[in-house]
Structure 1
Amino acid sequence: MQLRTQEEITSKWPANAEPLVGIRCTTFNQEKYIAECLEGFLIQETTFPFEVIVHDDASTDNTASIIREYEAKYPKIIKPIYETVNQYSKNDGSFTRIITSHLVRKYIAMCEGDDYWTDPLKLQKQVSFLESNPEYGMCYGIVRQYNQAKKAFFTNRGTDFVSFENFLHTRNNVPTLSTCYRRELYLKFLNDPLLAEQDWPMGDLPMWLWFTYNSKVKFFPEIFGVYRVLKNSAAHSNDIEKQVNFYKISRDCANFFSMQYLGKELPPYEDHHDRARLYSTKAHDRKKAYKEYKLIPNKGRKYKILAALHSNPITYLLLRIYYSIKYKQ
């Protein structure tokens, strides 16, 4: 792909205007992916200035060197932070404080260093909407999911959760790389005393829940980019018990918000359901999957059949449709 020059990218920007958007890009040892990530920013076609705050957290591979190459070609757009000591591992808040101090524009868009944008009008669409609708604090869209190990795309991610209460009862389906939100709202989230004592391993879910309760959120039914699924990430660990624990913590997080804002406790997390699903889809161990499904309360009885017949995709699909109608789940 032939990239535009800095002059071509900025040709429609008002003269001497300050950037309207700061793109938050964090990276660590992602030399294989960071170029594609940066180029997803550089294909953006906007009528307003934007800047890329790319925070390299002391990578030990060639990530920083690749960033420097793009910085040299696009100094008006690529604004790196190069750490010499890894900040994330300190676990003292320095990682967030440092990058937040550089995010000084009206809007923040997010994309981590192993993901990338594919829609050249992503920022233009989102910022135009937010500028015209001040009651909305955030917008997001759909992403394609790419399995790096299998070199293949699979299901898309990103759906309209409709309301705060509905979001509490569903999995986090707001793709981080598709979001754009108001910096003012983000700072209020960071300074909310209710969240000060919490220590959730995922940074996005609490923020999306807080945004959804405290402002309106817009869903764009459009594909904005690609989410790269890598081995042993927090949400995609090969260790099934680790992934079940991640889901449990996510549920605990949602329950916290439900109790704080609605005064209602969510139904208890059913670990057998997720463990069975992971055994059948990730480990391809139907015997263990069936064993777990037998432990699910009666309302989940349908999943026993699904697990036992999972090797037949057509039967699986038909049963899923039938039971989703029968049980309205």
Structure 2
Amino acid sequence: MLDTSPGFGLSILLVTYNHESYIERALESLFKQDFFGAIELVIADDASTDNTLARIRAYEGVDSRFSFKYLSCDTNIGITKNYQRGFGACTGQYVAVLEGDDYWISPGKLSRQVEFLNEHWECDLCSVNYFIFYEDNSSFVERAPIGAGHRLLGARELIMDNLVGNFSTCMYRKTALDRLPVELFEVKSYDWIVNICVATGSLIGFIEEPMSVYRVHSSGAWSNFAHIEKLQLQLDLIPTYDGITRQMYHTEFTRLEHDLRGVILLARGERLAGNMVRPALLSLTRLRMFIPPIIITIFQALMPPILTKLFLKIARRGRM
């Protein structure tokens, strides 16, 4: 059970910035939750220039469970500082996050997470499986295999694979957010490093049932970066994150750094090779009908596997 003392057992941190096109679906998914009890809704809008706030205000009073609490939105302070003040403003025993361009797909998400944290004192964070929605081609992909159980993750597992993935899947104990290092909010920090810091003193529960949708769209704070830019940003921040966590996970960060460098090198090679090779592939395709099969077999056998893989990727893209 949640704490029944005066105040809120649950806070929802709604983080928004120019989410006019998405915010109503996010709010509908929030107000349809089957959670019973008072809910503090903290709106951390980062000075939106569209009608995001007006659409949020239209929901005031429609559900007696919710008490609206608006943070100042006169100046854009950036995503990291916006989260810092948002976490600080929440007063509930538990804090769930919903970003304005995401939405929840299970009415039992909040009650399930509260139940999990009540039963698992070893966890300060409960996350859920989710679908990634690619807006450009309207496709959904589950982040992890769908199941009926849960997993327990540590910081080391999270460093190597950010299974939690985004803030909208998360519910925290407020005490864990209060312990986050101040220096975390002096650099560019997303869900990954916040959750690694939370996991320095606890485990993370990951419920395998998908209960949330993470949108990938052109105006997203993270998804609008190109693939190589995302990798490079993550790589550049690793030494800082290693310092914030007092080198406790230096081995894991070093291994990740090595892996990222390799992936970036391959991605840049694909881009360069694609620009150089793709025009030639059309000519090679036409020439193939005149080349004896034995010559093609010998060429494929002698070509290094990594080059074969690269050429196949480029060839596929060239046919798209």
TM interval, short-chain normalised: 0.7 to 0.9
One of 264, 287, 293 as aligned partner of 1:274: 264
Deviations 1:232-291 (A, max 9, x none): 5453335455323223135445544676224546134443523544886xx7x7626999
One of 189, 195, 202 as aligned partner of 2:189: 202
Counterpart residue number, 1:320: none
Q: Which amino acid aligns with 2:12?
A: I
Q: CA separation in 2, counterparts of 1:42 and 1:278?
A: 45
Counterpart residue number, 2:47: 58
Larger Rg: 2
Unpaired segments of 5 or more residues in structure 2?
146-150, 279-303
Change (3 A) 1:28 1:199: same
Deviations 1:105-141 (A, max 9, x none): 0000011001011110001111011112222111111
1:157 aligns with 2:143: yes
- Aligned length, in residue pairs: 282
One of 231, 235, 239 as aligned partner of 2:222: 235
Conservation of the 8 A alpha-carbon contact between 1:21 and 1:108? yes
1:99 aligns with 2:102: no
Change (3 A) 1:122 1:26: same
TM-score, length of structure 1 as denominator length: 0.72
1:196 shift after superposition: 2.0
Change (3 A) 1:241 1:274: closer
1:114 aligns with 2:67: no
Query: Within 5 Å, which residues of 2 pair with 1:30-109?
Result: 30-74=19-63, 76-81=65-70, 83-89=72-78, 93=81, 95-96=82-83, 98-109=85-96
One of 157, 174, 177 as aligned partner of 2:168: 177
Alignment RMSD: 3.5
Conservation of the 8 A alpha-carbon contact between 2:228 and 2:264? no
1:183 shift after superposition: 0.2
Change (3 A) 1:170 1:259: farther
Conservation of the 8 A alpha-carbon contact between 1:277 and 1:289? no
Conservation of the 8 A alpha-carbon contact between 1:172 and 1:205? no
Change (3 A) 1:198 1:205: same
Residue 79 of structure 1 aligns to a residue whose secondary structure is strand
1:171 shift after superposition: 4.3
Counterpart residue number, 2:288: none
Q: CA separation in 2, counterparts of 1:226 and 1:197?
A: 26
TM-score, length of structure 2 as denominator length: 0.74
Between the two proteins, what is the percent identity of the paired residues? 19
One of 306, 311, 316 as aligned partner of 1:308: 311
Counterpart residue number, 1:219: 206
1:63 shift after superposition: 1.0
Q: CA separation in 1, counterparts of 2:11 and 2:185?
A: 27
Residue 310 of structure 1 aligns to a residue whose secondary structure is helix
Conservation of the 8 A alpha-carbon contact between 1:157 and 1:173? no
Unpaired segments of 5 or more residues in structure 1?
1-12, 292-300, 314-329
Counterpart residue number, 2:158: 167
Q: CA separation in 2, counterparts of 1:307 and 1:276?
A: 9
1:71 shift after superposition: 1.1
Q: CA separation in 2, counterparts of 1:113 and 1:96?
A: 13
Query: Within 5 Å, which residues of 2 pair with 1:259-298?
Result: 260-262=247-249, 264=251, 266-267=254-255, 268-269=257-258, 270-274=260-264, 276-277=266-267, 287=274
Deviations 1:61-113 (A, max 9, x none): 1111111110142364151416341242598x4x3454234300000001100
1:45 shift after superposition: 0.5
Q: CA separation in 2, counterparts of 1:217 and 1:45?
A: 24
Residue 254 of structure 2 aligns to a residue whose secondary structure is coil
1:205 shift after superposition: 1.5
1:311 shift after superposition: 6.2
Counterpart residue number, 1:20: 9
Change (3 A) 1:256 1:241: same
Q: Which amino acid aligns with 2:203?
A: K
Q: CA separation in 1, counterparts of 2:184 and 2:154?
A: 26
Conservation of the 8 A alpha-carbon contact between 2:33 and 2:110? yes
Residue 196 of structure 1 aligns to a residue whose secondary structure is helix
**Greater relative CO (CA pairs within 8 A, separation 6+):** 2
Q: CA separation in 2, counterparts of 1:198 and 1:84?
A: 18
Q: Which amino acid aligns with 1:271?
A: R
